[in-house]
Structure 1
Amino acid sequence: MKSKDNFEAVLFDCDGVLVDSEPLTLGTLRDMLAEHGWSMPLAECTRLFLGRMVRSQSALIEAHTGQPLTDAWMHAFYARRDAALHAHLQAMPGALAAVQAAHAATSGRIACASGADRGKVELQLHKVSLMPWFEGRIFSGHELPASKPAPDVYLAAAAHLQRAPERCLVIEDTTVGVTAGKAAGATVWALCSQGDADAQHALRECGADAVFGSMLELPGLLTPPR
């Protein structure tokens, strides 16, 4: 796979694309749900919540725990999640080189467009020293009328960069995110780092234009063929 287009902007998801945060975040969520009466393996928690806002699943959580999803519970979750991220978060292998390549290929027109809350996104980018590449170009689904799988966050990022969504490349890793990018009208390349055939199929089924296995590959993929 090589880029056949000279994309005018590259819009990166954050979790699972720039930072290896999903096992930490979902592990914290799984533990807290178990403490409130809903026990499940991490794989099941991942299936249910990957790429989604926790609050968007409030009905599901309340049905299994028998308790309301309160602001206090969410604040406790954010605190425990952030502590885990502070202690253990790492960048995805190859993320820095991929960001640098995208920045060079688009004359700096890159952005981070995440379904997560801004505090989490900024914490993570600071933690792995990627914040200087995205300062002033971070977009959170929490701050828009609808988060992923709605296209709002990608449309906002494209508008800020003054580029049509159709001329933007989105880098995603979840079916929810791929759906959002395609709904925005962008080209979407999906990272599937686990190399699982079912996961790759699911990403293609929801519209991914291409699937690749590592952020280490992205600099080469962004280079137009000669």
Structure 2
Amino acid sequence: MMPFEAVLFDCDGVLVDSEPITMAVLRDLLAEAGWDMPLAACMAEFVGVTVRSKTALIEARTGKPLTDAWMARFYAERNAALTVSLQAIPGAHAAVEAAHAATGGRIACASGADRFKVEMQLAQVGLTPWFGGAVFSGHDMPRTKPAPDVYLAAAAHLAAAPARCLVVEDTPTGVQAGVAAGATVWGYCPPGGPAETLRAAGARKLFARMDDLASLLRA
């Protein structure tokens, strides 16, 4: 018997391969502002967190204020790049379909990203129909990840007890959010991913291929 009432998916890095695209745009804009770094360093610093949560660091490294106009430019250039290049994580469609079948449709997408980005990405890779209205953004919550708010909202929407929910995450920040919500968290961790930090954050299980989720749910 499937032990979970609902499955709650993160979006970036779990359903869509957006993080390298977004981070490349951010890296270029930060370099233009005076903080030059390799893409790997930018990803290590910013994946799993909001840009605004790093305001003090950005301002210290660039010597310039992080303005609304700069953020608007980042969002616009990010969205344009995603529109051109975004792909689903391999196996994501099969994983979502399997979770939908296993839970009788009680699945949600709960992301720390802004709602426009989340909904745009799900639509672009053809996943929107599986989630319907069960799409949640940390930007709409009092607190975003690593606080549990977005996962608690998703569980409440599905009328599922958080302790009976499975969260699928790929970053330590997201894992911490799922654990704080009281859910069981599994970490999607392809080869070379942050296995130890995901475990340290509280991930109960790690898996390397998204299309393995179906068999894991049946185990």
TM-score by length of 2: 0.98
Of 177, 188, 207, the residue aligned with 1:180 is: 177
- Can you give the 5+ residue segments of structure 2 that lack an aligned partner in the other structure? none
1:216 aligns with 2:207: no
1:41 aligns with 2:46: no
Of 192, 196, 199, the residue aligned with 2:192 is: 196
1:32 aligns with 2:37: no
Residue 206 of structure 1 corresponds to which residue in structure 2?
201
SS in structure 2 of the partner of residue 222 of structure 1: helix
Alpha-carbon distance in 1 for matches of 2:59, 2:132: 37
- Can you give the 5+ residue segments of structure 1 that lack an aligned partner in the other structure? none
Cα root mean square deviation, aligned: 1.0
After superposition, residues 4-153 of structure 1 pair within 5 angstroms as: 5-153=2-150
Q: Residue type of the partner of 1:215?
A: M
SS in structure 1 of the partner of residue 34 of structure 2: coil
Per the TM alignment, residue 190 of structure 1 is displaced from its structure 2 partner at its CA by: 0.2
Number of residues of Structure 1 aligned to a counterpart in Structure 2: 219
Q: Deviations over 1:32-82 (max 9, x none)?
A: 000000000111111110100111110110000111111100000000000
**What percent identity do the matched residue pairs reach?**
65
Per the TM alignment, residue 196 of structure 1 is displaced from its structure 2 partner at its CA by: 2.4
SS in structure 1 of the partner of residue 80 of structure 2: helix
Alpha-carbon distance in 2 for matches of 1:169, 1:140: 18
Alpha-carbon distance in 2 for matches of 1:216, 1:8: 20
Alpha-carbon distance in 2 for matches of 1:70, 1:153: 26
Alpha-carbon distance in 1 for matches of 2:104, 2:132: 15
Q: Which runs of 4+ in 1 moved over 2 A?
A: none
